[in-house]
Amino acid sequence: MDRHETDLDLETSLDDSKLLLDDASRVADEDYEFTLEGILAEFGGGRAGSAEDAAPPKPAVSVSMPLPELTPDADEEEPDGADEPAEDDGAMADIVPSLDTPQSFSLQEVLARTVQEVLDEQRAEPVLEDPPRRGLFARRRGKETEELYDEADGAPRDKRRDARAAEPEEPPAAPEPPIEETVASYRDAMQNARRVTRYAALITALMWLPQALDRFGVMPELYAEEKLVGVLPYFIALALVCVLGREVFVYAAEKLASFKLTYEFLTALLCLAALIDTAVLFLAPARAGGALPLHSVAALSMTCALWGRAMLFRSLYDSFRVAAIGDPPYMVTVTAGGAAKRSGRCDGFSTIAEHEDVSGRWQTIVLPVVLAGALVFSVLSTLQVGSWLLYFWNLSAILAGANALSFPLVYSLPLRRLTRRFARSGSALAGFAGADMMRRSNCLILTDTDLFPPGTVTLNGLKIFGEESGKVFSYAATMAHASETGLSRLFDNLLEAEGGHLEPLSDLNFYEEGGVGGTIHGETVLFGTSSFCRRMGVTLPHGLTLKTGMFLAVDGALIAVFAVKYMAAENVDWAMHALHRAHITPVLAVRDGNITPALLKRKFGTDARAVYPQLSTRLALSEKDGAKPCALIYREGLMPYAELAVGSKRLCRAVRIGNALSILSCVAGTLLSFYLSFVAAYTLFTPFSLLAFLALWALAALIDGALADKY
């Protein structure tokens, strides 16, 4: 700092001290000594005495600047009873010093007392509240009147901690049912859904068959002229489909009770409107006209809804069935560094798997608007035509256009295909919620054994310099075992073959250069790569070209060199390329200094744009404990781990794309159906034309979902 700035700071400090001292409005002589009696009389804390009664001052502690004089005013009146001793003077004699004996104080104590008095006065003043902010970005601000210090000892107090302590604690979450009960319930639900879906699909096919034959002129004229043949069977068939799909009605009512409107409600309302329109056509001769009833379209919508529920139950059943095997060797959880494979339990897996997917959240926003538009448009179309007998036809026509056939399959179809693949590879995904957590991280934490599993790391040779082989193998195995790298099993097997044992190790340290150090029997042992040993001052042989070797040094002297060979496993090679194609970033949480992105590039042909963080980050990311499982893995190797990461990303993308196309189909179908019904274009608005429109939109929305497991 500049000398002038230092002088300026000193002058500022002296000026502040002068202001504090001038606030007392007293000026003392240089040799004046402060007494406790005078200070108490000045601030009203004790018995006020006159200047003549005060004891003669004693020399104070010498200081380098003049001391102010704090004396009581001569005309200040004594309080009544000041000469009478207090009743508890004897009891307080040990705590409070006698006021008759002058007490000397240094300048620092006087300044501290004065500053404390000023702070107390400022704290006693009311806190002015800032004027409220107005406008779009206004926010509420609480009054800052809460004290920052405790009154007892003046210790700082955490205001937010006190606020949290005052809040009532949230009730604990309900315990998760046993996984066996969950598997049994989904097995029963899956079997029932598959059974009713088969029956509904059969009835729907029988409803479409006569209409297709009639379109090509195969059906007799009696089919078009007699309502008992051309209308009543469809009414009965649609009623049977509604009975089979009663669970759709129940689920729609439950969601509506919780103020959520999904495609199930539109499907149920479409079936009811089509059923009523068919009954009106059968009972009211005036209803006959060019507007063909849409009972077959309504039955198809109900069949798709049942099919979607059956596939969803089947998918969750497969996941829970795998989870019911027992606690898995590994689970996938999401950390700050990305998705990580940890050792843990399957607690909480079923709760996460049963969460609602993103398509349900989007539908609760869009479908209420579509339903309101359908109700209004049906009234307008009926008023335009002038016949209220066509109201339920108009309503069923607009609802049929709005009810995209792909709605129930957007989530269940890709989930079904992926869970079937995961079950074959010995893993289970916790539904869309688990996939979305993995997709958000877009990073996969890989450890030593993920990249080079046991059997792919071998010893290609070794050289010992002036030491016994037993000591070399024991020291090397001890360091490798303590560092928890992929070399641990290799050196453990080597030590077992030589009949040695692990040595006691202390002061284990990891180094950024790619090695570890510690103390064994009082000797400093270093174990790591060639660059690490050079950084630590160990002399290495000249002309050394070993790229993946491990070096062992004791007290700064090299005693052994191990030539380690890393071989690329086929499943790891596939996994690295799959991660590269899916644009998922591998994070190398490795402890072996030889495993770098350059080594991955040489062994696998790609490093998948791997991230190689600092040593402290790698050590933190390589921990083994975790919570909140997104997925469960029951097999070794990187392939099932990478399959889960890539499949989760493809599942989320398929659901979002399919849901977006389904919503577009819903909006476009609503507007188009309203226009055709409003202009009474009954020759264009037929069940087959509507079926072609819905099938094309559904095909576009489901292509990506049908290919979700192809990677």
Q: What is the 3-state secondary structure of 612-664?
A: CCCHHHHHHHCCCECCCCCEEECCCCHHHHHHHHHHHHHHHHHHHHHHHHHHH
Host H or E run for residue 218: none
Q: Which two tokens stand for residue 410?
A: 């957007």
Most confident stretch, 210-224, 285-299, 551-565: 551-565
pLDDT at 675 exceeding the cut of 70: yes
Please tell me the least confidently modeled range out of 97-111, 182-196, 484-498, 578-592: 97-111
Rg (CA), the chain: 42
Average pLDDT of the segment spanning 653-675: 95
pLDDT at 636 exceeding the cut of 60: yes
φ, ψ for residue 285 (rounded to 5)? -65, -30
**Mean of all residue pLDDT scores within the chain:** 80
Please tell me the least confidently modeled range out of 268-277, 354-363, 445-454: 354-363
pLDDT band at 544 (very low <50, low <70, confident <90, very high): confident
Amino acid 547: pLDDT: 83
Task: Work out the percent of the chain whose per-residue pLDDT is above 90.
Answer: 52
**Distance separating alpha carbons of residues 359 and 263, to the nearest angstrom:** 10
pLDDT band at 33 (very low <50, low <70, confident <90, very high): low
CATH fold, domain 448-621, is Calcium-transporting ATPase, cytoplasmic domain N (3.40.1110)
pLDDT at 11 exceeding the cut of 70: no
pLDDT band at 61 (very low <50, low <70, confident <90, very high): very low
**Distance separating alpha carbons of residues 400 and 395, to the nearest angstrom:** 8
Amino acid 230: pLDDT: 85
Reduce the DSSP state of residue 550 to 3 states and report it. Answer: strand
Question: What is the CA 66 to chain-centroid distance, rounded?
Answer: 65
> What is the pTM for the complete model shown?
0.72
**Distance separating alpha carbons of residues 461 and 263, to the nearest angstrom:** 67
User: Three-state SS string across 131-147, please?
Assistant: CCCCCCCCCCCCCCCCC
Average pLDDT of the segment spanning 637-655: 94
pLDDT at 57 exceeding the cut of 60: no
Amino acid 527: pLDDT: 95
pLDDT band at 5 (very low <50, low <70, confident <90, very high): low
Question: What is the CA 261 to chain-centroid distance, rounded?
Answer: 27
pLDDT band at 523 (very low <50, low <70, confident <90, very high): very high
Task: Answer yes or no: are the C-beta atoms of 588 and 597 closer than 8 Å.
Answer: yes
What sections of 23-57 are H helices per DSSP? 36-43
Amino acid occupying residue 93 = A
pLDDT band at 216 (very low <50, low <70, confident <90, very high): confident
pLDDT band at 13 (very low <50, low <70, confident <90, very high): low
Which DSSP state fits 81?
Answer: T
**Distance separating alpha carbons of residues 238 and 274, to the nearest angstrom:** 8
173-191 pLDDT, tens digit each = 567 788 899 999 999 999 9
pLDDT band at 528 (very low <50, low <70, confident <90, very high): very high
Average pLDDT of the segment spanning 431-450: 93
Please tell me the least confidently modeled range out of 135-139, 449-453, 531-535, 593-597: 135-139
Give the residue, 469 or 372, on which the prediction is more confident: 372
pLDDT at 162 exceeding the cut of 50: no
Amino acid 31: pLDDT: 47
Please tell me the least confidently modeled range out of 193-207, 210-224, 330-344, 593-607: 210-224
Amino acid 550: pLDDT: 93
State the virtual CA torsion across 394, 397, 399, 405 in degrees, nearest 10.
180
Q: Which residues of 681-700 are buried (b: 16+ CB within 10 A; e: fewer)?
A: ebeebbbeebbebbeebbeb
**Distance separating alpha carbons of residues 242 and 341, to the nearest angstrom:** 46
DSSP string, 112-171: HHHHHHHHHHHHHSPPPPPPPP-STT--------S-SB-TTT--B--HHHHHHHHSPPPP
Task: Work out the percent of the chain whose per-residue pLDDT is above 70.
Answer: 75
Amino acid 264: pLDDT: 93
Domain ranges of the chain: 25-120, 179-428+641-706, 448-621
pLDDT band at 691 (very low <50, low <70, confident <90, very high): very high
Amino acid 623: pLDDT: 74
CA angle 639, 640, 646 (to 5 degrees): 85
Helix-strand-coil percent breakdown of the chain, rounded to 5?
55, 10, 35
Please tell me the least confidently modeled range out of 246-250, 384-388, 647-651, 697-701: 384-388
Average pLDDT of the segment spanning 448-475: 90
Q: Which residues of 473-492 are buried (b: 16+ CB within 10 A; e: fewer)?
A: bbbbbbbbbbbbbbbbbbbe
Give the residue, 618 or 128, on which the prediction is more confident: 618
Give the C-alpha distances (Å, rounded to integers) separating 454 from 447, 502, 602: 12, 20, 19
pLDDT at 91 exceeding the cut of 80: no
Host H or E run for residue 562: strand 557-566
Amino acid 173: pLDDT: 53
Give the residue, 251 or 344, on which the prediction is more confident: 251
Give the residue, 68 or 193, on which the prediction is more confident: 193
406-423 pLDDT, tens digit each = 999 999 999 999 999 999
295-323 helix and 179-215 helix, angle to the nearest 10 degrees: 150
Amino acid 85: pLDDT: 38
Among 489, 562, 551, 507, CA closest to 526: 551
Amino acid 53: pLDDT: 42
333-364 pLDDT, tens digit each = 998 888 999 887 888 898 899 888 888 888 88
Amino acid 112: pLDDT: 59
**Distance separating alpha carbons of residues 612 and 592, to the nearest angstrom:** 12
Reduce the DSSP state of residue 487 to 3 states and report it. Answer: coil
**Distance separating alpha carbons of residues 682 and 693, to the nearest angstrom:** 16
469-492 pLDDT, tens digit each = 889 999 999 999 898 888 988 998
Among 596, 593, 590, 520, CA closest to 559: 520
